[in-house]
A and B are shown apart, each in its own frame.
Chain A
């Protein structure tokens, strides 16, 4: 395999690479071994700390927590998509009085840390204005405002990245603005953007973990609760490990789906013509918050 950084390796380079590979593997094994040894030395692998897995009540508790996480994710994902579509439409509008406010809203919610947004909704509004917002809705609304704004940008650059000829041809055929958008531009843009949209949904899923900080009883919150139970031996490390495995499995599944789609779509006809080349978008696709 040739790369821009090195040529196809010859026999000497191949030997050197094998050596580096062996040394590198040993180093990684040593680091992992040390971590596992520390866990062992700190008594985190003692059976007493893992007993909780066997209790049916705790299994139900974790199942409820998983449901709480997933329901926040589902509602927030749906609302984010709607919010994103509406504000992308606003930003693409020909009327300045629509475009201006839509741009301001999107830029505002993208610049504010999600947690501050959630705090404003949960603590600020309830204590400042006396309107009670439940932890669930504060979390979901925060996720919607933030990820919806990011998705609005995704939709907008999706439409923008289409060749101009597409809309010109549609106008030439006598279509109206709405028709051009809904029958010509959006279907193409959505197809190109689907992987990016899915990876943004991974961000939504990851961010539901913020619910822990405002005491929404999701997975991480229950992990903290179980981890502090002294009659179970306060098994916070074992619980955290199990919860981490659940989160990572769910997110990997969603990321995998997005990668699969990306590969499928790039193999299809005419792909690349509508692929986003905006590096910002690529990043949004990278799932950074």
Chain B
């Protein structure tokens, strides 16, 4: 207990850093992922190909390597000087966007073509078909797995700590400097993540049970 209460300042700053990184990269990855998903389902073959290449490369690159690039290689390029937080958020966004894109794409693909054909037969315009027939069904299929991706992102923020962003995963270094038991300190970090992740997992299960459609 002492380890936690004596270092509340440390834990507070670190978990705040985790949550900040999570929120920034979460929103960034949703926007970028949506854009790439739009490429991947577009009628233009060239754009589809770019989307596919992006997703395949990013999904098969270790996140550690992506962050490695931003931490060590980016500063060598002599571009705009960015804070480490910004670089870590960019890396996490680029990586997570590939997974977000796949979820959105497969969500759209779960809607049978017959649905759009039927709505066109009823005289719906493209906008009506999209907003009243396709998207409502796609969203139901997308939200539960999207929660999962964001949970993964939350856990992945710790990797940024390996590259020393102030963030929950980096607590151990500070604790050992202050002379506390590292094991106990890290177990508190683990507990913190349990408290953050488990409610999200439960939410995801619930959404899944309630929203899943049998086709």
Given the known interface contacts A4-B116, A5-B108, A283-B145, the answer about A120 and B183 at a Cβ–Cβ threshold of 8 Å is yes
| Chain A facing B: main interface SS | helix
CB–CB B46/A116 < 8 A: no
* Total of A-B residue pairs, C-beta within 8 Å: 207
**Partner-A contacts on B (CB < 8 A):** 39, 41-47, 50, 56-57, 59-65, 68-69, 72-73, 76-79, 99, 102-103, 106, 108-109, 111-113, 115-116, 120, 126, 130, 134, 141, 144-145, 148-149, 152, 155-159, 161-162, 168-169, 172, 176, 181-187, 189-190, 193-194, 197-198, 201, 204, 208, 212
A116 to B72, CA, bound (A): 22
Number of interface residues of A (CB under 8 A): 69
Given the known interface contacts A4-B113, A282-B145, the answer about A236 and B61 at a Cβ–Cβ threshold of 8 Å is no
A54 to B177, CA, bound (A): 42
CB–CB B61/A251 < 8 A: yes
A25 to B47, CA, bound (A): 7
A40 to B196, CA, bound (A): 44
CB–CB B208/A2 < 8 A: no
CB–CB B61/A123 < 8 A: no
Given the known interface contacts A120-B187, A123-B182, A128-B182, the answer about A4 and B112 at a Cβ–Cβ threshold of 8 Å is yes
Given the known interface contacts A123-B186, A288-B99, the answer about A247 and B149 at a Cβ–Cβ threshold of 8 Å is no
A17 to B184, CA, bound (A): 60
Given the known interface contacts A24-B46, A42-B77, A282-B145, the answer about A116 and B60 at a Cβ–Cβ threshold of 8 Å is no
Q: How far is the CB of B68 from chain A (nearest CB, A)?
A: 6
22 A–B pairs (Cβ distance < 8 Å), ordered by A = A4-B111, A5-B116, A5-B130, A6-B43, A21-B44, A24-B46, A25-B46, A115-B161, A117-B190, A124-B182, A128-B184, A209-B64, A224-B68, A227-B72, A237-B77, A240-B69, A244-B69, A252-B60, A280-B145, A283-B145, A289-B63, A289-B155
Decide yes or no whether A20 CB sits under 8 A from chain B.
yes
Q: How far is the CB of A72 from chain B (nearest CB, A)?
A: 12
CB-CB under 8 A from B46, the residues of chain A are 21-22, 24-25
Q: How far is the CB of B17 from chain A (nearest CB, A)?
A: 14
Stretch from A89-97, A105-113, A185-193, A266-274 forming part of the interface with B:
A105-113
Given the known interface contacts A124-B186, A128-B182, the answer about A113 and B155 at a Cβ–Cβ threshold of 8 Å is yes
Q: How far is the CB of A16 from chain B (nearest CB, A)?
A: 9
A41 to B79, CA, bound (A): 10
Q: How far is the CB of A155 from chain B (nearest CB, A)?
A: 18
Q: Which of A39, A119, A209, A286 contacts B102 (CB 8 A)?
A: A286
Q: How far is the CB of A123 from chain B (nearest CB, A)?
A: 5
Closest to B96 in A: A288
A114 to B181, CA, bound (A): 20
CB–CB A279/B212 < 8 A: yes
A107 to B144, CA, bound (A): 18
Q: Which of B57, B120, B126 contacts A248 (CB 8 A)?
A: B57
